[in-house]
Each structure stands twice: as structure tokens, then as C-alpha cells.
Amino acid sequence: MTVHLHPLAGCAPTPLAHYLKAIGILRLVAQQKDSDVRGFWRDQRFWLLTTLDEAALEAFFLGEYAPTPFVSPWNKGSGFYTANDKGLAPVEGSRAPRFEAFRRGIAEARTQLDGITEADATVRRLKDQTKAKKGAKPARSKDDPDYKRELAAAEREFKRLKADLYGPFALAWRGPHRDWMDAAMVLSSEGEPSWPALLGTGGNDGRLDFTNAAMQRLGDLFDLNSDDGAPVPQAKALLKTALFEIPSAALLDAAVGQFLPGSAGGANGTTGPDAGSRINPWDFILMLEGAIAFRGQATRKLGARDDMRAAIPFAVAAQAVGHATRGKEKDARGEQWMPLWERPASWQDVSALLGEGRAQLGRSLVRRPLDFARAIAALGVARGLTGFVRYGYLERNGQSNLAVPLGKIEVAAHPRARLIDEIGGWLDRLQREADDAPARFSASVGVLSDAVFDVLTREAEATRWQSVLVAIDEVERAQASGTAFKVGPCPTLSPRWLDAAADDSSEWRLALSLGSAARGYGYEDRRPFDAVRAHALPIDPTKRWSYAIGADKRLINDPRVVMKGRDPLSDLVALVERRLIEASQRGSRTLPLVAQYGAGARLDDLARLLAGEVDLERVVTLGRALMALDWRYVRLPSVRVDSHGDRPDEAWEALRLCGLPFAFRERTIATEPAMFRRLASGDAAGAIELALRRLRASGLRPPLATAIADPTTGRRWAAAFAFPIDPAVAAAMADRFQNPTSTETL
């Protein structure tokens, strides 16, 4: 038996019509011709593996294909309420065996429509009475109270009968037309319908009824009056276009609905002011044949928190995350992620995948795109998938809905994806608060959501994880201003974040030094006490976050919070000043800033900082975020000390040795607050004079007599005190002063 491989260039993952067309082709060939057919996605197209060669495949669709009965009698535009409807009547009156299932579906639909048809006719008759006709009695006024009452009663009766349709159809319908019903709606246990976004509102989108349009497209392709339903002359050329993307001039001017936005026409749709809708009838019909595969699982038992989308394959609520533009369009219909796979799969495999089409986080069903990305990264979806095409059902172009592709998401293992679980609950609460929050806070939550989505769906580079940390800090800065502070700050982060975000930059190493700073660490458990995070947020490590909320339900004004986000230099200077004040209040004459072992600042990084060669704003932003780290469990190698590499100016090293939190080489050099105040105010010369005097009093021989610096440099020198150094680095600095290599200069 020969097997043929067909690259269906006309079936691409985007737009949605072409994706659904591929699913429809696989389903129809499997169910009606070759049960062993396989299909898969590769190179931006769908590949069909079947015993049918190209001629046989075309012959099947042209001569044997039996359409699924697309009937939606619950919609007014379906053709059931119009005499001799141009879409329904020709199919209902056809004689060919290939349309037998369609005729049976129409007949079963009509058995339940006698009462509702009469009610609809009454409504139409009353509305016609307001239209003046020549030779007839005068039209009734729409403002006539009696007319309003009659019309309202007729419309209520129509709605009552329509609401009672779904249950009888669900009980009585069997066969392929029931498959269509299950794709078009999900019935609750009370018989109330919900509408999957894929097929609008029960197979209807605005004024376009998909089922009636499909019947008209069948009339465009087949001779419905013939005994065998033979294809019309242009059907073959149009089929080649639909399957193999061979150009054809036989496209029709007809509505395409939400599935093919690029062919919808309208203003700016061509080089002129306006364009019509252009469609291949095969595309429309095969698209609906594929949509049937996404039937809602009406019998699935949903949890108390699960909404209708949980019953629809890979459908989630809408969320403005992970795509470039965020318009003001309505997106209440949510999103749907269409699966891609590269291994040949049978229709049974694909049907099973879609039948159980859901992603999970732990035991919870995914409800939002960001959670979907987390599930994919954690391999929480069915194995064998290589990616998803993300579609958003958006209301644009007036009240028209369009299925807009929002990007392709690769399915790949992200070993560090579980790190997001540490902030998952916090991010959920932030997003709920962001809906009605000020613009700054909403924007910062959006940036954090985008950063998380990016790190889960792309290659996990350190810079992407750093972007998450930067976004966390931006959210916390908005909270520190009093917005959504009840949500609380970022929860404690595990040390694994360091492995994910670490790079070999000076900015990262300096951020570690700042983020780990505390008054001290326990000897055995390395537990920090009095960490500097309390100077960025009103946090007391001995109390819950609620302590920061005052009696007036506002965020308290904590005098310890001095890092206000004004600018990085000011924040760092304020941090050091606050630490010196608190030390003096305890009777201490040191600068209580100690880094976790291995996190202290290096000489070469400090040299670049003082020379203005590092991005200080990024350093401070990352450092603030790293304050949330659980530093008890961080294990870092010792700080590398390279005395022959780049190092700070001797004048600054003299200043820094007068601001240590520890004794070294049996020396304790007391910190002089006046020295730092002069330096912060721009009086570098005065600060250096005090520092040199202190060093000489401690037995060190400075290799300089004095030094000067401009006020800007002086403030940068002061800010650099915020980065703790290890004793080994301090000892390397002191070597200059114990064994000076230069003569004293003025």
C-alpha cells in the first residue's frame, strides 16, 4: 500500500480559518475515506499522510464529500424563519445522497419549530404594520402604547419559546447535526446555553449566520438540483487553491466572519477607499468542518470556580499580556490557544487531544493566558505538542469580532519555570487590584505580567529573569506610594532566582551587595537581622505586613523608609544616612551594612561605579528586588580580590575604610558621621581631611595628604558607601595605607 505525503500549503497555522480548515480536512478524510490518515504541522503548513494521491484527494472532496449538517434553528438568520430562504431552501430541496445527512438535520430541526415559527411571524407582522404601503390603511405609530404592548408581548413569547428550544434539541438530536450543536453551545445542567467564542453566539456573529452562509457556499460549489450533487465547473480550481494555495480568479464576494480578518474588506482594505470581502467557498465550509472538532464537553463536571471556558478546548479568559499592542477593544470573548504538533497523528489522536483539551497548574484548570504559559513551561499540557497559536477574539471595526493571532508559543521545557510559582499568588492578587487602580500601578502590573510571560515562553536568558526582578521593584515602588498596598509586597524569593538571573556584569554583582545588606548575620544559620529592605518598604520582620496599615486604612508613614525612588544617587545616600543615624541611636560608631558571605562588592566593580561606568539605576532597581531574597539559604563563593586590577581612587578608599561595620587586623576604625555628611553635601575635600585624620589615629599611613573632587563626584562617592564590602576587600584597601607605594602629595 502506497502512502502519499501532501504538503497543504493552503493550510497554515494563521489565520484561524486556515488552521480550522486543516483540522476539518483531517476529520473528513478520516471519517469518510481513509481511516488511517495522519496529519501534522511543520514549516508553517499542515501535512497530510494518506493512501490517497493528489488526484484521489481532489476526487473525494469533489465527488464524495458529504457535508456536516450545519443547522442553527435557534438563530433568526439561520433560514428557518424565512420562506424560500436562499441558503436553506436549496439544500433542503436537494436530492443527492451526499446531502442526505444535511436534509435529515434540517427536518429534525423543523419538528421543534412550529410554535416559535408562528411567534416569529407574529413579531414580523407587527413590525410590518409600522411601514406605510400604497393603497393600504395608514401605518401604525411605533409610539402607540397599544402597539408597544402588543409587540412586547409577541417578543416575550418568541424569547420564551426560543429559550425552550435547547433542551428538546439536546434530547432528540443524534448524529452529525448534534456534533454541530455541541460545538456551537455548551448547555448547563439547567439547560441554559453558553456560547464558545469560536462560533460566536451559537453559530452567529452579528448579522452573519455561519450555518446559512455555509449552505450558500455549498450552492456555490455544487449543483444542488442534480441527482448526484455534482461540483460546478469552478469548484476544482477553488479546491486546488484551498488545499495547495494555487492562485485562482474565482474567489467570491461574500462575508467571511471573524475567521479570516485579512479578507474581510472594508475601509483601507485595498489601494482604493474600500474593498469587498473575498472568500474561497471551500475555505468557509472546511473551516466550519474543523470548528466542529472543538466541541464543548457539556458532560464534564466543573468545579465551583470553573466557568464555561473550562469546557472548551484550550480556551481561557482574555488578558492583555504577551503581545505588543493593547487596544481599547472589548475582549469579553476571551482567547483560544490552538495546538500544533509535528508527529503524524490520527484523527482519533487529535480528537482525544481536543476532547480533553485543557492545561492545568497543579490541580487547578488554567483560566488565563499567563497561567497557560506557566502550564506549558511546566509541561502541564498533553505530551507531543510543539506549540500553540494564540488567538484573541476581539471586537474591532465597529461591532465586528475578529479572531486575531497574538503570537506563537513554543512548548519547551523550562526547568526554572517553577520559580514563577513563588510569585504566582501575589501576581494574581495584583492583577485583580489593577483593574480599578491608578494608571501607574496598572502599568507596572502589566509590565510584570509581560516580563513573566516572556520568561516562560522564550529562551530563559538571565536578562529576561532580571527583567522580572526589575518589574517586581516597579510594582513595589507603586505600592510604597500607597496604591494596592493591602496586597502586600513581593513574597520571599528562593535562592534559585540567583541562578536564573545571574550574569557576569558589574551591575548584577553590585545589586547582590546592596540586596543582601543587613546590620548583621547569624554565625551558624547566616540569618540576616535588620535587613535594608525596611528602608525601601514599611516592613518589620517581626510583624505581618498588616502592621504597615494605619487605623485610617492607609499606609503608615514609616520614617525608616528613605528609598523613595527619586533617583538612585539620592536613594543610596539616604540609605547610608539612615543607617548612621540608627547606629548612633544605639551608641555605635560603625556603618551597619554587612553583605551576605560572597555578596560583598568587588574592587573592580566599585572602580567602575565611581567612574560612572555602570548603570546605577539598574543596580538600585535590581538591588531593591533582591532584598526579597531568602538570604539565609544563599551560598556564594568568596569575593575575588584582585589588588592589581582596576580599583577605586586612593581618596575614596581612605573614606571607605572609615565606614566599616567590622574590625579587621585588630583595628576598629570608628565611623565619623560628619565625614559622610560633608561628602554627601559635595564637600569632598573636607570629608577626606576627616577620613585621613581618622586613619592616622588608627595607625595607618595614608599615601596622600589631601584630595579634592567636584560636588557631583562627591555625592557619587557617598552613594558608593551603600554597597557593603567583605573584610578581604577592606584588607586589600588597607594594604595601600600600611605599605604606601606613592609619596604624599598635596
482 and 436 assigned to the same domain: yes
Confidence of residue 741 (pLDDT cuts 50, 70, 90): very low
Q: What is the pLDDT of residues 190-220, one digit of tens each?
A: 778 888 999 988 999 888 899 999 999 999 9
Residues 145 and 173 in one domain: yes
Q: Which residue, 440, 464, 492, sits at the end of a domain?
A: 492
Mean pLDDT of the region 642-669? 87
Least confident range of 161-175, 319-333, 636-650, 724-738 = 319-333
Which of the listed ranges 39-53, 186-200, 401-415, 552-566 does the model predict with the highest average pLDDT? 39-53
Least confident of 117-121, 659-663, 680-684: 117-121
Q: Is residue 598 part of a domain?
A: yes
Contacts of 735 (CB under 8 A, 6+ apart): 643
Say which residues have a Cβ less than 8 Å from residue 541's Cβ, sequence separation at least 6: 529, 530, 531, 534
Are 463 and 595 part of one and the same domain? Answer: no
Query: Do both 483 and 441 map to the same domain?
Result: yes
Judged against a pLDDT cut of 60, whether residue 484 lies above it is answered with yes
The confidence score (pLDDT) of residue 302 equals 45
Q: Is the pLDDT of residue 116 over 70?
A: yes
The reply to whether 44 falls in a domain is no
pLDDT value, residue 305:
45
| Higher-scoring residue by pLDDT: 642, 301 | 642
Q: Which residue has the higher pLDDT, 526 or 343?
A: 343
Give yes or no for residue 554 having a pLDDT over 50.
yes
Residue-wise DSSP of 431-476: HHHHTTS-HHHHHHHHHHHHHHHHHHHS---HHHHHHHHHHHHHHH
- Identify which of 554, 510, 518, 513 has the alpha carbon closest to the alpha carbon of residue 535: 518
Among 241-255, 288-302, 667-681, which is the least confidently predicted range?
288-302
pTM for this model (two decimals): 0.84
Residues 476 and 552 both lie in one domain: no
Q: How far apart are CA 485 and CA 549, in angstroms?
A: 8
Residue 82 located in a structural domain: yes
Highest mean pLDDT among 50-59, 116-125, 430-439, 729-738: 50-59
pLDDT digits (tens, 9 = 90+) for 353-380: 888 776 666 666 777 888 888 888 865 5
Domain identity same for 278 and 302: no
Q: Is the pLDDT of residue 98 over 50?
A: yes
Domain boundary among the residues 259, 275, 293 is at 293
What would the pLDDT profile of 4-18 be if each residue is shown by its tens digit?
A: 999 999 999 999 999
* Residues 339 and 264 reside in one and the same domain: no
Q: How many domains does the chain have?
A: 4
More confident residue, 167 or 332: 167
Q: Is residue 61 part of a domain?
A: no
3-state secondary structure of 13: coil
Do 346 and 423 share a domain, yes or no?
no
For residues 261, 266, 270 and 273, what is the CA-based torsion angle, rounded to 10 degrees? -160
- Has residue 608 been placed in a domain? yes
- The whole-angstrom separation of Cα 117 and Cα 121 is 6
Provide the angle, in degrees to the nearest 10, between the axes of the packed helices 16-32 and 347-355: 120
Same domain? For 348 and 219 the reply is: no
Is the pLDDT at 746 greater than 60? The verdict is: no
Task: State the pLDDT at residue 148.
Answer: 86
Adjacent-strand bridge partners of 387: 340, 410
The residue that leads in pLDDT, 125 or 692, is 692
Please write the tens of the pLDDT for every residue from 287-315.
999 999 998 764 444 444 445 555 788 88
pLDDT at 300: 43
Give the percent of the chain with pLDDT over 70.
Answer: 88
Grid cell digits, residue 351: 480528537
The whole-number pLDDT of residue 465 equals: 96
Domain termination site, one of 293, 309, 339: 293
**Within 13 Å and on the Cβ side, how many CA atoms surround 499?**
10
Q: Tell me whether residue 363 is in a domain.
A: yes
Residue 575's domain comprises 504-738
Q: Are 400 and 11 in contact (CB under 8 A)?
A: no
In this structure, of 293-302, 324-333, 679-688, the range with the lowest mean pLDDT score is 324-333
Query: Is residue 54 a part of any domain in this protein?
Result: no
Name the average pLDDT for the chain.
86
Same domain, 327 and 436: no
Residue 743 confidence class, pLDDT cut points 50, 70, 90: very low
- CA-to-CA dists, residue 385 to 116, 342, 392, 427, angstroms: 46, 7, 20, 27
Does 447 have pLDDT greater than 80?
yes
Same domain for 641 and 726, yes or no, is: yes
In a domain, 528, yes or no: yes
Q: Is 490 helix (H, G, I), strand (E, B) or coil?
A: coil
- The pLDDT, as a whole number, for residue 307 is 53
pLDDT value at residue 584: 93
Q: What is the pLDDT of residue 17?
A: 95
Q: Do 596 and 727 fall into the same domain?
A: yes
Highest mean pLDDT among 295-299, 466-470, 482-486, 644-648: 466-470
Sort 723 into a burial class: Cβ within 10 Å, 0-12 / 13-18 / 19+: buried
* The pLDDT value given to residue 160: 80
